[in-house]
Amino acid sequence: MSLRSRLLLSGGSVALLCLVGFADCGAQSTTGRRPEARAVREKDRARRFEAKPTRCDGQSSGLCSRVVAPGPGRHSSVAVDGEPAKDLESGEPTAAIDNQGVQTEGEAPLWVPIPIENRSDKALMHFYAALRRVENGEGQARITFYGASHVASDLFTGIVRQKLQSRFGESGPGFVMPAKPWKWYRHSGIRVERSRGWKTIRVEARAPKAERYGYAGVALESKDKYASGVIETRRNGGLKGVASRFELFYLKQPRGGHMVVFIDGKRMKRLSTEASHYETAYEIFEAPEAHHRFEIRTQGDGAVRVFGVAIERDTPGIILDTVGIPGARAANHLLWDDTIYREHLAKRTPDLIVLAYGTNEAGDDDVAIETYESELVNVMTRIREIAPQASCVLVGPSDRPLETEDKSYSPRPRTGLIIESQRRVAAEFSCGFFDLVAFMGGPMSMLRWVAADPPHGASDHVHYTLRGYKRLAEVFSQALIADYQPQEEKSRVNESTP
């Protein structure tokens, strides 16, 4: 079956992103609810929590456990590869694992602080070298973070950005769309506004086709007069959130129109996008280091297509580009115009490239796993051709149980197949691999995440809550730099090695 047909059959609803904590979705706090409403919620959780034991049979990620709802006062525990489960807080054994990998007592963990698998021991070498340069004041370490809805919300990646920038330095928010491509688009360090008149151009599930999508896999186009997009930098947690450099990525094309760029309300430049043929274009705007309002306005005299804005500071530190698309699959990359994609990715000079896909592909039961793996190899082959020295990490699918007719849940066998495919591809390209299912506590763990109080999983049993994404960010960011040694420590280790 073609990629076009598969996307048509498996397209998901963008509206599910409301469940992962977007402020403009009207989400309500759980505090202050009536006692009877809470009782109904707890009863519903208990009903949904029914599940059978799962075994490590080659169809899972290898960390299997019985689904047991945590009761009052009970802590999460870890049980991996036949070792006794240990309470994450006290470290005391709480259960045993039989030879088949089924937990026989105690409870399965709500989350597990897993490492990034690094079979070649080289997966993060280039990234670590970039971090050492940053600490020596010699440049920036750049991360490109691709993915689907777990990434698109910038909840998980936004916290990773905060943690890395807090330690190594703040070099700016990174690559951002100049207007919202979809209603729930967000960036944790930026406020983004969009007027009417913009058309979002991305791989559509109903009619997928090759297009000039650009670096982020999504573009915005307008022929309207005075369609506008606004980006405002702001403080982000403990980060300053300031910027001094804005680089606009856009397209020149036949019958292209004009747009005007404003910074802090001041007209900076009128740009023409007219050209005899399609070609990429860039414009750099510099400003004093501070918070700024960056705005583009179309003139209505032809089509204007923009790919994004790189917002940075000219200081050593971390730049993390969040480039996620709701409902995306890794194979969507193969539909992004090759020339533009190669130029854009090379221009961002990433030191680390992360691909976080697989949750959507786990539902594509009509696609042979061999086809899935072949397409993933093609995606990674092109990335390696563009950035051969960059470190890379593949992040696997999250647990996504199957809902049965009686509203209970069963394991999704394809998730384990996707995980093993990604693990093989990661090894083939000397990338690291981060197993989301193992992090969550094993197959069927999403039920515990949804039932937890407060919940870590969203009620759609696909996405996480804000609390869940915070937990993921903590574990992933720690795993990312677990083996990093600053220059002075690395030198001491080398001197002591015979």
DSSP states of 284-346: EEEEEEE--EEEEEEESSSBEEEEEEEEE-SSSEEEEEEEE-TT--GGGGGGB-HHHHHHHHH
Kindly state whether residue 333 falls inside one of the protein's structural domains.
yes
* 365: CATH: 3.40.50.1110
Distance, CA of 420 to CA of 117 (rounded, Å): 12
Kindly state whether residue 457 falls inside one of the protein's structural domains.
yes
Query: Among 251, 257, 271, 258, which residue's Cα sits nearest to residue 340?
Result: 251
Kindly state whether residue 409 falls inside one of the protein's structural domains.
yes
Distance, CA of 400 to CA of 413 (rounded, Å): 10
Distance, CA of 375 to CA of 377 (rounded, Å): 5
Question: For residue 44, what is the DSSP state?
Answer: H
Distance, CA of 425 to CA of 429 (rounded, Å): 6
Kindly state whether residue 68 falls inside one of the protein's structural domains.
no
pLDDT reported for residue 63:
31
Q: Which residues pair with 258 in a beta bridge?
A: 272
Helix (H, G, I), strand (E, B) or coil at 3: helix
Kindly state whether residue 236 falls inside one of the protein's structural domains.
no
One-letter amino acid for residue 27 of the chain: A
Kindly state whether residue 449 falls inside one of the protein's structural domains.
yes
pLDDT reported for residue 298:
97
pTM as predicted: 0.79
Contact 357, 329 (CB under 8 A): yes
Report how many domains make up the chain: 1
Taking only the tens of pLDDT, the chain with its 498 residues reads 544 444 443 333 333 334 343 333 433 333 333 444 444 444 444 443 333 333 333 333 333 333 322 332 333 333 333 333 333 233 333 333 222 222 334 566 789 999 999 998 899 999 999 999 999 999 999 999 999 999 999 999 999 999 999 999 999 999 999 999 999 999 998 999 999 999 999 998 777 889 999 999 999 999 999 899 999 999 988 899 999 999 999 999 999 999 999 999 999 999 999 999 999 999 999 999 999 999 999 999 999 999 999 999 999 999 999 999 999 999 999 999 999 999 999 999 999 999 999 999 999 999 999 999 999 999 999 999 999 999 999 999 999 999 988 889 999 999 999 999 999 999 999 999 999 999 999 999 999 999 999 999 999 999 999 999 999 999 999 999 999 999 756 555 555 555
Other CB atoms within 10 A of residue 419 CB: 24
Kindly state whether residue 295 falls inside one of the protein's structural domains.
no
Locus of tokens 């179309």: 298
Question: What is the domain range of residue 400?
Answer: 3-18+112-171+317-496
Kindly state whether residue 101 falls inside one of the protein's structural domains.
no
Contact 333, 323 (CB under 8 A): no
Tokens in use for 489?
């420590």
One-letter amino acid for residue 301 of the chain: D
Tokens in use for 290?
């501070």
